[in-house]
Structure 1
Amino acid sequence: MKGATGGTANDSAGNATNAKRAFDRNSQPQWLYEGTTGWLQYDLGHSERVQRYSVMSGSDDDVVPRDPKDWQFQASNNGATWTMLDTQTDQVLAERLELKTYAIENPASYRYYRLNITANNGDGTFTGLSELRLFAPGPQ
């Protein structure tokens, strides 16, 4: 299983430069979003069957309240109509740079994947994470 790479990142603020930080396989710098809800999206440029994904908490200089707490992991083939693949609630990444992996129960091939964050762990201004990783067997 390989990590999905070579695509294009974006976020709900339309800041592709900031969003690509979450997909660069480097915990520094991290994706930091001004807001307590929002989404982080990856366009693979082709369809792949992502079977699991990982979320890495913020770096040593960040705080737990900014980490995502509740989210929906979604997929699309057109970037407009989204299918729910996974939902997580009450997630706490207590350690800095902690990596948690989530399996997708019924994976299928999609071009776009996004983490739609519906709540962070309490920060009133920012949400952040170091990495969002997608794992797929290869191009379909």
Structure 2
Amino acid sequence: MNLLKMTKRAFGLCLSVVLLLGCGKEEYPAVDLFTWKAKVDVTAKANLTVNIENGAGASGGEGSAKVIDNDFNSKFLINPYQSNFYMQLSFPSPQQVASYTLTSGGDAPGRDPKDWKFSGSMDGTTWVDLDTRAGETFSGRNLTKTYSFKNLVLYNHYRISISAVSSGSLFQLSEWRLIEVPAEQQ
């Protein structure tokens, strides 16, 4: 009986020592639980400017503010359209944009953008072409199309220069959105 008590005490003492010393604990690398990155619409962070405005002004019924109001039922319209027309979004801090969307207006498909160039700039003066499109069409009204490209550079300014519309002398667009895309998703 004495031997059994001594064995239990020895085992208890050994177990205590092992627990205090870590009992052969395996080391696992530290993992950040929030490493997943998503595509993010960054349009709301920016200030919009255009070189040709609607006759009623930016806040008018079809003024430029409508193109970034996140409402597909409103639109930006200019009359007359000119082939040097552009819209620009400027950010207070650089953004890494690798995708954008355009949503056609609710009427008259001839007013849709057809040819354009999407560019980025650090200073608003020197521009780098990121995406160029020609002969684009929208198969429906208030239709959103996404355009993606590779871009790992963070720019303060993004511009879309629309050099042609489908037909006629007017331009319309319901929405223009800029999307930040993580490098691993490009």
TM-score by length of 2: 0.68
Q: Which residue of 1 aligns with 2:76?
A: 31
How many Å separate the matches in 1 of 2:66 and 2:111? 16
Could you say which residue in structure 2 is the equivalent of 1:135?
A: 179
Partner of 2:140 in structure 1?
Answer: 95
| Identical positions, percent | 28
Which structure has the larger Rg?
A: 2
| CA distance in 1: counterparts of 2:45 and 2:95, whole angstroms | 12
Could you tell me which amino acid in structure 1 is paired with residue 175 of structure 2?
E
In the TM superposition, structure 1's runs of 4+ consecutive aligned residues that sit over 6 Å from their partners are none
Q: Which runs of 5+ in 1 are unaligned?
A: none
CA contact (8 A) 1:36 1:120 kept: no
Query: How big is the alpha-carbon RMSD for the aligned residues of Structure 1 and Structure 2?
Result: 1.7
Which residue number corresponds to residue 44 of structure 1?
91
Which structure has the highest helix share of the two?
2
Structure 2's unaligned 5+ residue stretches are: 1-38
Instruction: Choose which of 64, 71, 80 in structure 1 pairs with 2:109.
Output: 64
Contact 1:74-1:113 at 8 Å conserved across structures: yes
Q: Which structure shows the higher strand fraction?
A: 1
Tell me, yes or no, if the aligned pair for 1:8 and 1:20 is still in contact at 8 Å: no
In the alignment, what sits opposite 1:85?
130
Q: Counterpart of 1:51 in 2: which secondary structure? A: strand
Q: Secondary structure at the match of 2:45?
A: coil
Are the aligned partners of 1:58 and 1:128 in contact in 2 as well (CA < 8 Å)?
yes
Separation in 2, partners of 1:107, 1:31 = 30
User: Take 1:42 and 1:122, find their aligned partners in 2: how far apart are those partners?
Assistant: 26
User: Which one has more relative contact order, counting CA pairs under 8 Å at least 6 apart?
Assistant: 1
